[in-house]
Every structure is written in structure tokens, then in C-alpha cells.
Amino acid sequence: MSTIDTRLKAMAHEGRRAMLRSTLTMERSASDLARLSGLSRPAASQHLAMLLGAGLMRVRSEGRRRWYRTDPDALSQVRRDLDSFWSYRLEALKRAAES
């Protein structure tokens, strides 16, 4: 499976998207992410493992705690990949508007 396929699959679940949104600007603990996404702690751990495996999230250890944060570069790559599907339509619209 390609990187983009893995990342899109990881982003397919609403709970995982909630985790990504809540860690865009700040680090959060797994417990915080479970609470914010409405998932049980064990379910949140499984979802975090998938996000980490897809490279969409980073983790930092501090003592016994682990802090999670969305990887902005990975999200940018997903966006670039998705935008490539629409660029030809935008070019056609631009040509139509200019003629």
C-alpha cells in the first residue's frame, strides 16, 4: 500500500480525524485524545497507533507520558496529493473564463 493510501485510510475514521484536529496546534496526551474524540482509552491507543504508523502524527516521550502532535508536513503531502485531482478542472475553468 502506498503512503497516500495508508494516510487516507488512517484519516477515514472520524475519531482519528478528531485526534488530528485536536493536535494541530498543541501536543496532547493519549488520555486527552481519548476524551476529546469520544473513544475509550484502549480504542484511542489503537487509533493512535494507526496514525503514527501512517506518519500523520508524531510522539514525544517525557517520563512516563507520551505527547502526540499532528505532523504538518504529512498533512501537507496529503493535501498536495488530493489537490492534484482537481488541478485539471481548475485549469479548464481558467481557460473558459479567459476566453
pLDDT given for residue 18 in this prediction: 96
| Distance (Å, whole) CA 94 – CA 6 | 33
Mean pLDDT over 43-70 rounds to 96
pLDDT given for residue 12 in this prediction: 95
Region of residue 15 (phi > 0: left; psi between -120 and 50: alpha; otherwise: beta) = alpha
| Distance (Å, whole) CA 13 – CA 19 | 10
Question: Exposed, middle or buried by CB within 10 Å (0-12, 13-18, 19+), for 35?
Answer: middle
Question: What's the number of domains the chain is made of?
Answer: 1
DSSP one-letter string for 22-52: HTSSS-EEHHHHHHHHT--HHHHHHHHHHHH
Task: Quote the crossing angle between the two packed helices 3-11 and 14-22, to the nearest 10°.
Answer: 100
* Least trusted range by pLDDT, from 4-8, 28-32, 94-98: 94-98
Question: pLDDT for 10-40, tens place per residue?
Answer: 999 999 999 999 999 999 999 999 999 999 9
Is residue 71 classed as helix, strand or coil in its secondary structure?
A: coil
For residue 22, the domain's CATH number is: 1.10.10.10
Per the model's pLDDT, the better-predicted residue between 97 and 61 turns out to be 61
Residue 74 lies in domain: 3-98
